[in-house]
Amino acid sequence: MDDCVFCKIIKGGINSYSLYEDDLVKAFLDVNPVSKGHILVIPKEHYENIFETPDNVLEKISLVCKKLSLICRDKLKSTGVNILNASGKDAQQSVFHLHYHVVPRYEKDGLDLWFHQEAKGEIDIQNVYDILV
């Protein structure tokens, strides 16, 4: 994809602070970080979202997210991590190349990346369960 910023990074057309790369996955520092050590993990092939990404690529991304989380804990002394993905416009995906954010967390860092305060009490959980199974 010629107009995809992540494809350009993979091809070397845009410089990145690369932290990990193999035949399937690349990881680099986010240039607009929300925390010290904020990392993006992407597949090297262009897949728009989680729905179209092959399982073996998702498995590799998960392992790389863990590896980089441990490095942030050990080297940056982070005390937690959020691993986030948005797949699809309605999920607020902004770059349509699958990517995961590894966001190291620190005591009293002031970030609120959780959504339980937005819980929808009117959703009939039993009905949703019956539909899904």
Annotation marks residue 99 as catalytic: yes
Query: Residues with Cβ < 8 Å from 129, sequence gap 6 or more?
Result: none
The number of CA neighbours under 13 Å toward the Cβ of 108 is 0
Nearest to 1 by CA among 122, 79, 98, 83: 98
Contacts by 125-133, CB closer than 8 A, 24 or more apart: none
25-29, strands of its sheet edge to edge: 18-21, 25-29, 39-43, 100-105, 80-84
Which residue among 46, 99, 101, 116 is the active-site one? 99
Question: Annotated catalytic sites, by residue?
Answer: 99
